[in-house]
Structure 1
Amino acid sequence: MMSETNKYKIKVKIKSIKTKKGKEQIKDLKKNNLVNYFKGNLGAPFIITFIVLSLVSAVSFSLRMESLADSVMIYAYYSLVIGIILQTLSYIREKKQHGR
């Protein structure tokens, strides 16, 4: 017969295995959702790039690097325009697929 401490250790081990597996499944689910999001929203990476470049430009401007800030912001605007065009195309494609 097993002692009480051994039973407790086995139960704890089983719970930790279940928890690790559950966390892996959650990570896989989040990863799949993120991939599906970017497949459905083609402009999203460009819009995110616009936001990041805008922040870089603002920091550069505050550090009195005006020429760098201007150059970075130009690329940010290009990224935004591309993102909006791709997002519009994604919207139209989705609308046609669902027959709306």
Structure 2
Amino acid sequence: MAAAETPAEAPAATSALRTYPIAPGVRLNVRSGPGTQYGIVRVLPEGSRVLVYCQTPGTWVSGYYGTSNIWDNISNGEFVSDAYVYTGSDGYIAPRCL
């Protein structure tokens, strides 16, 4: 979950969003863009849950939940590989990022 959400985010816009757990036993790298070539901006601790605002294709990653090129936008300028997030789907579960 984003530590500091902007006040401009209306409750109605976020009410449809739900959180998803990251893979058990994983400390997940959060990157500045949708790929492993982007810098790590922080690390999520084990047991974290994330809001997925939108998703976008990026570099392929093999992780706990398979291999995927889908990257989840969890905050402004913060992305995690969907291969480590349990969404219940191998495909997109949120709108594509613009």
TM-score using structure 1 length: 0.21
Higher helix share: 1
Rg larger in structure:
1
TM-score, normalised by the number of residues in structure 2: 0.21
